[in-house]
């Protein structure tokens, strides 16, 4: 925007009398930066064991929404919401199933969409659980929703090679998703599930990095039930940071691991479980997950733009159930001892894990 300033120059004569003032127009180019913002919420593994979908079945239909009513207010302020669909939506024709080869009703995915989740990772060690038929059904389900950004499993090579970029509030964003393991199952091609390799991720990132403001990479990695990332996770995190990825979102360990910054890259090593029927032993660590929130702020001028991550914070969540029924995911801010005995001590414990590398991480 150009601002015009009138500079009044008064010339004094030696006699101290004044001539008529001289007006000079000075034009200064000063463009006001334009800022836009999105709030991103990231959640962990939706591990839908058979007791969960059986508990959701009511009057001939699946009602998963009742399990997430305590989170509705938490999600209202988010523009973008991510989670990992750990258990494939493989279609009822293949029969719904739990561990070890999962198949989850489509209604679970529909519920996540209704809650506001619009970024979904589909690369994990259970992607191939129902073979080609399950993959194709899953692709067809998610492809019905063009406003939902998914990655990690594709129906065609072209779909894998051309990940979508979406835009909200003037900010473009993209997701790449990879898994280290497929539980020994082998895909007939390289697009049904994205298997991680340094070469593949480098090629994928270089193709898309210049076309989006925000690049997320979901990594299904690490050791199950370990609260500290292993050496390979640390190496890959550094590698992704060197590739200029904005956020690395870790899944698979099923318990919370730390958060850290590597240069300007936010690395969340593991969000733990979003919902599951896993054991209540080991200090409930398989039932306590993490929500991470961060603001994406884009500042633009005529010639350039920049994106920063700000206002990073996190909140613990707990999957409550009794006798394989009445599943409900509850933020710690709504807990009391009647729901989870000694929940305050668990909060202290898991917050210390979150802050293992960085004491400045904010926890609610």
- Residue 343: per-residue pLDDT: 97
Question: Quick check: 342 pLDDT over 50?
Answer: yes
Place of tokens 């894990």: 353
Show the domain range for 286.
34-363
Question: Quick check: 1 pLDDT over 50?
Answer: no
Measured distance CA(316)–CA(48) in Å, rounded: 19
CB 294 within 8 A of CB 276: no
Place of tokens 């004044």: 18
Q: Does some domain include residue 13? A: no
Question: Quick check: 17 pLDDT over 60?
Answer: no
- Residue 23: per-residue pLDDT: 43
Taking the whole predicted model, whether its pTM rises above 0.85 is answered as yes
Question: Quick check: 3 pLDDT over 90?
Answer: no
Question: Quick check: 4 pLDDT over 80?
Answer: no
- Work out the average pLDDT over 324-352: 97
Q: Does some domain include residue 20? A: no
List residues bridging with 256 in a β-sheet: 271
The residue ranking higher by pLDDT, 20 or 98, is: 98
- Residue 121: per-residue pLDDT: 98
Q: How many structural domains is the chain composed of?
A: 1
Q: Does some domain include residue 18? A: no
- Residue 31: per-residue pLDDT: 66
- Residue 202: per-residue pLDDT: 98
Question: Quick check: 7 pLDDT over 70?
Answer: no
- Residue 33: per-residue pLDDT: 85
**219: CATH:** 3.60.21.10
- Work out the average pLDDT over 75-79: 95
The residue ranking higher by pLDDT, 4 or 219, is: 219
- Residue 27: per-residue pLDDT: 46
Measured distance CA(208)–CA(18) in Å, rounded: 66
Report the alpha-carbon angle 55-61-64, nearest 5: 50
Q: Does some domain include residue 338? A: yes
Q: Does some domain include residue 263? A: yes
- Residue 303: per-residue pLDDT: 81
Report the share of the chain in percent with pLDDT over 90: 88
- Residue 282: per-residue pLDDT: 87
Q: 191-223 pLDDT, tens per residue? A: 999 999 999 999 999 999 999 999 999 999 999
- Give the mean pLDDT of the chain: 92
- Work out the average pLDDT over 87-107: 98
Q: 30-50 pLDDT, tens per residue? A: 567 899 999 999 999 999 999
Q: Does some domain include residue 21? A: no
Beta strand 34-46 with 288-300 is antiparallel
Is residue 137 exposed (0-12), middle (13-18) or buried (19+ Cβ within 10 Å)? Answer: buried
CB 291 within 8 A of CB 315: yes
Q: Does some domain include residue 238? A: yes
- Work out the average pLDDT over 285-296: 97
Q: 104-148 pLDDT, tens per residue? A: 999 999 999 999 999 999 999 999 999 999 999 999 999 999 999
Q: 61-72 pLDDT, tens per residue? A: 999 999 999 999
Measured distance CA(39)–CA(276) in Å, rounded: 26
Q: Does some domain include residue 61? A: yes
């Amino acid at each position: 925007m150009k601002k015009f300033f009138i500079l009044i120059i008064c010339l004094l004569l030696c006699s101290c009398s004044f001539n008529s003032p001289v007006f000079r127009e000075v034009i200064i180019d000063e463009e006001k930066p334009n800022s836009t913002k999105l709030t991103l919420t990231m959640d962990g593994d939706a591990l839908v064991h058979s007791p969960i979908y059986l508990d959701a079945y009511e009057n001939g239909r699946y009602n998963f929404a009742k399990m997430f009513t305590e989170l509705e207010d938490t999600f209202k302020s988010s523009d973008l919401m991510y989670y990992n669909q750990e258990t494939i939506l493989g279609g009822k024709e293949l029969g719904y199933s739990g561990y070890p080869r999962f198949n989850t009703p489509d209604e679970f995915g529909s519920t996540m969409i209704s809650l506001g989740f619009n970024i979904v990772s589909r690369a994990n060690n259970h992607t191939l659980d129902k073979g080609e038929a399950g993959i194709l059904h899953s692709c067809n389900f998610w492809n019905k929703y063009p406003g939902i950004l998914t990655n990690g499993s594709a129906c065609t090579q072209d779909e894998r090679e051309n990940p979508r970029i979406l835009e909200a509030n003037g900010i473009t964003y993209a997701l790449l998703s990879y898994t280290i393991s497929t539980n020994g199952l082998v895909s007939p091609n390289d697009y049904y599930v994205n298997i991680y390799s340094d070469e593949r991720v480098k090629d994928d990132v270089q193709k898309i990095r210049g076309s989006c403001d925000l690049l997320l990479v979901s990594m299904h990695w690490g050791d199950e039930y370990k609260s500290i990332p292993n050496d390979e996770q640390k190496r890959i995190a550094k590698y992704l940071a060197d590739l200029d990825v904005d956020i690395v979102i870790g899944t698979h360990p099923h318990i919370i691991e730390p958060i850290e910054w590597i240069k300007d890259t936010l690395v969340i090593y593991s969000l733990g479980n979003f919902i599951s029927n896993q054991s209540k032993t080991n200090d409930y660590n398989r039932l306590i997950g993490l929500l991470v929130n961060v603001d994406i702020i884009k500042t633009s001028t005529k010639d350039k733009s920049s994106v920063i991550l700000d206002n990073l914070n996190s909140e613990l969540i707990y999957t409550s159930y009794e006798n394989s029924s009445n599943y409900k995911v509850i933020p710690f801010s709504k807990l009391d001892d009647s729901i989870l005995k000694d929940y305050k001590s668990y909060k202290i414990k898991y917050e210390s894990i979150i802050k293992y590398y960085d004491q400045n991480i904010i926890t609610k």
